[in-house]
Amino acid sequence: MRKKIITMDEAMDLIKDGDTIWVNSFGGCASPIDLNKAITRRYRATGHPKHLTVYSSFSFAEWREDSDVEGYICEGGADCVVIGFFGSLYGTAKAIQENRLEGYNLPGGVMSHMIRAAACGQKGLFTKIGLNLFVDPRVGQYRLNERSKRTLVHLVGEGDDLGLMYDCPNVDVALLKATYADERGNITFENEAASVDCLSVAQATHRNGGKVIVQVCRIVNNHMLPRSVNVPSALVDAVVVVPEQKQLTAMDGFYDYICGKYVPTGNILRACRDEIISKIGETSHRTDLHRAIAKRAFHELKEGQIANIGIGIPELIAQEVLDRDMLDKVHLSVESGHTGGLPLGGKGFGVSIGPDTMMDMARQFDFYEGGGLDICFIGTLQVDAKGNVNGHQAPGKLSGIGGFANISQTTKKVVFCMTFTSGGLEGSFDGHRVTITKEGRIRKFQDAIPTRSFAVENAYAIGQEVMYVTERCVFRLTEDGLELTEIAEGVDLQRDILDQMPFRPKIAAELKTMEF
């Protein structure tokens, strides 16, 4: 049998000019940062490999512009990237914004299913996800700058059969990070916080005659339990041992409660959360007004429901669930493949403490897109007069859609969470009363928005219940657009709400007081 356990330099020899690379990663989870850094070293030393195309469903770098993980991409080694979420890819996002790099943004869940379709030998993936949104070819905003001319999405069918066909790539190199490999090259992810789409990526690459390269922390004896193997040796071309590789990109150390080896409860779970947050840091500055949003949104979650918790303000809803001793009475999930436990946010997004189950991401999106979720909580940037939402394109910042479209387009009940304004907003919340002391410069409600992550025509078509929860009021989506249904104690309807909107929403005949 050909030698599979090789050096990093030997692994780099397998990557050729013009290759299409798929990086298996979900933010800080299972990110093969050492393999990517090695590509950067090789490129800086030799000018090769070059003319690369890089795909990834979610980001895979280190939350800083000078990261060597994406050095080869930003410095000329890559011609093109197709990414679902740019979160940690600061340098790549900047290169795209400066028109130095061809860039495309597709829904992360679509990319997850796309690579599985490629493993099946399909040339394209048909789905309704993305219809009427920025990625719809009638809009074409998935092309991120003037350099980006490729057509990756096609409108097909008509009537009830209308949908989108996304082109599946032919992958030449798969980059994976795992925990162990045995001497034959069987791969396990037992200490990883997520497996993402490791098997589909390996299958698609192998089917195309490409090379599957895996970094692991250690080689173990043969005779792994077959059920514990995530990627079989038959699909693996190269294994590189990196003893110092990180469990999560954002921190050092090993934590058994984020990989399913230990399931803490009660106060122990709280202690585990505090420990992990001390390592990765809080997601961002959270104010009392953010907490007011989370406390109101929490009341929409009912016992026994399966919920998705998004990044941003929704992270605080998970904390509310924990603080109110509801964690064992609901099922919180994240698109990385976890259901149960306590989801984290920020640099730990995709991680859950003590999850009930950890599955490949495509399987999670199967359930989501089938309408299996009872409710989802999603952070929001802008809302227009009809109720359409921009949740992925902030002025001057390239974030990417991530799982936003897949989740919000199919979930039975969608709760968008946002401050009413931003950019200097100040106020207080005492648990019952909200006081706005300084209005933000940026109004979140607009006559029109620059791009659509969520379209009301899709919501009407499947009968979704849609809410927009802010710190000072609540809107609901009706057949006539937005209806103001609740207002917080201490908030003035005219000054704090209507005067801060360029359009006048419908106001409920019985305007309720928000309960926190």
Domain residues of the chain, as ranges? 8-241, 266-513
**pLDDT value of position 284:** 58
Residues 6+ apart with CB under 8 A from 111: 55, 56, 57, 82, 84
Report pLDDT digits (tens) over 405-446. Answer: 999 999 999 999 999 999 999 999 999 999 999 999 999 999
**pLDDT value of position 283:** 58
CB-based contact 168:123 (threshold 8 Å): yes
**pLDDT value of position 448:** 96
**pLDDT value of position 280:** 84
Instruction: Tokens 């173990």: give the residue.
Output: 220
Rounded CA-CA distance 262/139 in Å is 47
Instruction: Specify whether 335 is catalytic.
Output: yes
DSSP 378-416: EE-SEEETTS-EE-S--TT-----TTHHHHHTT-SEEEE
Write the secondary structure of 242-267 as one string of H (helix), E (strand) and C (coil).
CCCCCCECCECCCCHHHCCCCCCCHH
Helix, strand counts (H, E) of the chain? 12, 32
Angle between helices 108-119 and 361-369 (to 10 degrees): 110
Residues 6+ apart with CB under 8 A from 430: none
- What are φ and ψ of residue 78, in 5° steps? -110, 140
Does the pTM surpass 0.85? The reply is: yes
Tell which residue, 201, 209, 178, 200, has the closest CA to residue 191. Answer: 178
- Domain 266-513 sits in CATH at 3.40.1080.10
Which residues of the chain, if any, have pLDDT below 70? 1-2, 282-284
Q: How many CA atoms lie within 13 A of 155 on its CB side?
A: 14
**pLDDT value of position 412:** 98
Token couple for 497: 């709400």
Q: What are the C-alpha distances in Å from 378 to residues 49, 147, 294?
A: 39, 31, 11
Report the CATH architecture of 8-241: 3-Layer(aba) Sandwich (3.40)
Report pLDDT digits (tens) over 76-117. Answer: 999 999 999 999 999 999 999 999 999 999 999 999 999 999
Fold match, 8-241 / 266-513: yes
**pLDDT value of position 3:** 86
**pLDDT value of position 223:** 77
Rounded CA-CA distance 44/314 in Å is 41
Active-site choice (102, 335, 439, 486): 335
